Amino acid sequence: MALEQAHFDAAPQAFFNAWKRGAQIAGPEWFGDGTREGLQRATSKWGLRPNMPMLNDALGVLSSSQRMFLSAMVSFYNAREGGAMLKRCGFEGLSDFGGLDLERRKVIADLTLNYDGW
């Protein structure tokens, strides 16, 4: 019980760290104010909310792995919007993350492990 409590006490910061890594990998233009400086200045997940209108407009022109990764990240921010985006990407289940590289898989795993709500 103590180990689990310690994990969940640290989860919000761990989630933010993973979210920020994901934003760095995907590109700062999709998060917060859309700038590299904004990404560096962010001190919480609130400062790096996904730019939903921009993401929805660009979904069709991104590579399949970029679409999948960004859609998965969005699903932590907004399950309904992220789920719709994943569906548009052809996502059918967790095994579809097998198409992501190790760096992106680690971000998704860390987000899942440390998610405490948005």
Using CA atoms, how far apart are residues 50 and 71, in angstroms rounded to an integer? 10
Give the 3-state secondary structure percentages of the chain, helix then strand then coil, rounded to 5. Answer: 75, 0, 20
59: confidence class by pLDDT, cuts 50, 70, 90:
confident
- Report whether pLDDT(38) > 90: yes
Domain with 18, as residue range(s), is 1-114
Tell which residue, 9, 19, 24, 28, has the closest CA to residue 112: 19
- pTM, two decimals, is 0.91
Domain count, the chain: 1
Q: What is the pLDDT of residue 3?
A: 86
User: And the tokens for 66?
Assistant: 């970029």
Residues 6+ apart with CB under 8 A from 64: 89, 99
